[in-house]
Amino acid sequence: MCFSVPGMAASVLDTVDDMALAEAMVRVWGQQAALKASDNACTQACMGNEDSARKWRRVMALIAAALRSET
């Protein structure tokens, strides 16, 4: 599985962290990983933590892209 971050304007550490989290979620949750990341993003947004919600949205996008490339 290859995780890439095309055009993402984030620091290198954030990008690596997001990719590691996305990879771990796919290992644990498989096809449901993007849904779990989406749930986490919604939870954080509802709690008013927009920075964390944005991170989960980035992770969700990485997961979705990786899963699409597998098929």
Residue 2 lies in a domain: no
The reported pTM is 0.78
Give the structural domain span for 47: 12-70
User: Is 4 a domain residue?
Assistant: no
Alpha-carbon torsion, ordered 2, 40, 58, 4, to 10 deg: 0
The answer to whether residue 6 is domain-embedded is no
- Residue 69 buriedness (CB in 10 A; 0-12 / 13-18 / 19+): exposed
Q: What would the mean pLDDT of 52-69 be, rounded to a whole number?
A: 93
Residue 6 DSSP one-character state? T
Q: How many domains is the chain partitioned into structurally?
A: 1
pLDDT range class, residue 64, cuts 50, 70, 90 = very high
DSSP states of 43-68: HHHHTT-HHHHHHHHHHHHHHHHHHH
Quick: pLDDT tens for 9-58: 555 556 889 999 999 999 999 999 999 999 999 999 999 999 999 999 99
Give yes or no for residue 2 having a pLDDT over 50: no
Number of H helices, E strands in the chain: 3, 0
